[in-house]
Amino acid sequence: MKSDYDYIIVGAGSSGCVLANRLSADPAVSVCLIEAGSHDNNLRIQTPAGTITLYKSRKYSWNFLSAPQQHLNGRSLHTPRGKALGGSSSMNSMIYIRGHASDYDRWAEAGCPGWDWNSVLPFFKKSENNRLGQDTRLHGTQGELNVEAARDPNPVSQLFVNAAHKIGIRRNDDFNGEQLEGCGIYNLTQKDARRLSSYRAFVAPVLERANLTVITDCAVQSLILEQRVAKGVRVVSEGQPTRLTARREVILSAGSLASPSLLLASGIGPASELENAGIKVEHDLPGVGKNLQDHLDGLITVRSKSPLTLGFSLGSVPSIVLSPLRYVLGKKGWLTTNYVEAGGFARTPLAEALPDVQFHFVPGYRSHRGRLFEWGHGYAVHTCVLRPKSIGQLRLDRHGKAVIDFNFLSAPEDAKVLIEGLKLARRILADQQFDPIRGTEMLPGKHVQTDEQLMTYVREYAATVFHPVGTCKMGVDPMSVVGPDLKVHGIEGLRVVDASIMPSLISGNTNAPCIMIGEKAADMILRGDRSTVERHVRDHATAG
């Protein structure tokens, strides 16, 4: 295995795969993309409906557990992250959402010039291959990432959209258009009824590039630092420890949990925390691991006798048996579902001008017991707090192990928004659109009605919706980790490029923003390289 490269990218997730593509487009530059997980050549990953089997997979998921949550009855929350080429884009629900324009303007106002909406929009468009004929002022059509309509959405998903409209929530066919607010069927990152992860979109098509090396099943232990300059990484590959060196940059794209963990393991972070864990302090950077944010989710799940919904029963046996044939021959049927087919953004009575909750509607029964599969039929709505105020952290314990503490509901406002969101979801499900398949609400249950009862339910059942961000915050304040150029403060030759750099959580799913971050980072790196070359040419000419 070659051991020296121009760029080493740690993490083949949504941002890292974009970087690998763009940087390796120059044949004079060598790029190494490292993934701790395995290859993605498995039908469970490539078939959309397989996503439900991945969240607790030992092979394809990092099954992290959070610290006991003080405001959620001391529960530790399951926190899966993708463990394969494509990272979490190889196990997510493939929903293409950018968030609201104001999310990015807020980044710029927080000390991150160049990250406002007008500045990041071209990078969203660069990646996108919009197959829906949507507004070309806001969508791209020449990129690698297909954005398509769901192939064969369950008719119950349309009931949810119709019911939301009946209670006053507008229909929205493009959540990345002029307005975020409204309900509709989600657009997905798919191609030919198959998942289109960041790896499949950006790296698999360019594997023939001689200057691009992709290494799987390779665990990065720490950075190699010399005089506060990143020189490479220490890894374990095929059971053997080795060193890979980078002539230009090491780029961490391992996600909001692994990127700060690698910085801490390398002695970059809060000095007192590193000392307590017995790690040599290479650079005191107090913001590493802080500013953790995520969307907190509450579930309403209903049992129904209708075999129209996704589920396991004697009545659904024919559709289940025929689903492989329908998928292979017509790209239709159960195997095309991403489960959270419909949803949208709405304002509770607590909201001001912008939506404060997001819905993810499942046209199938979500187990009230937390099981992966449950016998029977039904439907469910997940409701999440869109702009949470609760801030957590990833820190080290005295043994040097990373502790993930979301600190959910530490801000009381979040609980109030979630309770109002659950009430709004119930109003949608109570509409007459659902009368033909009306069932029994299993969670929270009809006995849970008052705000106090709903609060008790939230503390017992609320969970993460899998959008952790912010732990290597971008900015210029004392708690920021990277600058607007994504270079780590105080360390040369090192950047962080993934969801961890977000100063604040965006209003929606995080995969598309991570791809944008990869695009913008690649552009900054390439422009910087060009400027360096041009400067060297000028200096040489002057000297001559």
CA distance 43 to 194: 9
Rounded CA Rg of the chain: 23
For position 461, what pLDDT does the model report? 97
What single letter denotes the amino acid at residue 375? W
Whether pLDDT at 77 is above 60: yes
Q: Could you tell me if 469 and 509 are in contact, meaning their C-beta atoms sit under 8 angstroms apart?
A: no
Identify the CA nearest to 103 among candidates 461, 493, 453, 516.
Answer: 516
Average pLDDT over every residue of 207-228: 97
Active-site residues, by number, are: 467
Whether pLDDT at 403 is above 60: yes
Residue ranges of the chain that CATH labels 3.30.410.40: 151-185+296-387+409-461
pLDDT in tens, 464-491: 999 999 999 999 999 999 999 999 999 9
What average pLDDT does the chain have?
Answer: 95
What class does CATH assign to 151-185+296-387+409-461? alpha beta
pLDDT in tens, 15-31: 999 999 999 999 999 99
CA contacts within 13 A on the Cβ side of 45:
24
For position 531, what pLDDT does the model report? 54
DSSP for 330-359, written as a single string: HS-SGGG--S--EEEEE--TT--SS--EEE
Structure tokens at 131: 């197959």
CA distance 437 to 431: 11
pTM of the model: 0.96
Residues in the chain, how many? 544
> What are the start-end ranges of the E strands in 253-364?
268-269, 283-284, 296-304, 342-346, 357-362
CA distance 193 to 199: 16
Average pLDDT over every residue of 455-462: 98
Q: Could you tell me if 253 and 11 are in contact, meaning their C-beta atoms sit under 8 angstroms apart?
A: yes
Residue ranges of the chain that CATH labels 3.50.50.60: 1-65+80-148+196-292+468-544
Question: Domain 1-65+80-148+196-292+468-544 is of which CATH architecture?
Answer: 3-Layer(bba) Sandwich (3.50)
Q: At which residue do the structure tokens 């009931």 appear? A: 159
For position 314, what pLDDT does the model report? 82
Which residues lie closer than 8 Å to 282 by C-beta, 6 or more apart? 225, 228, 266, 267, 268
Count the neighbouring beta carbons within 10 Å of the beta carbon of residue 442.
20
Count the neighbouring beta carbons within 10 Å of the beta carbon of residue 243.
13
CA distance 14 to 218: 18
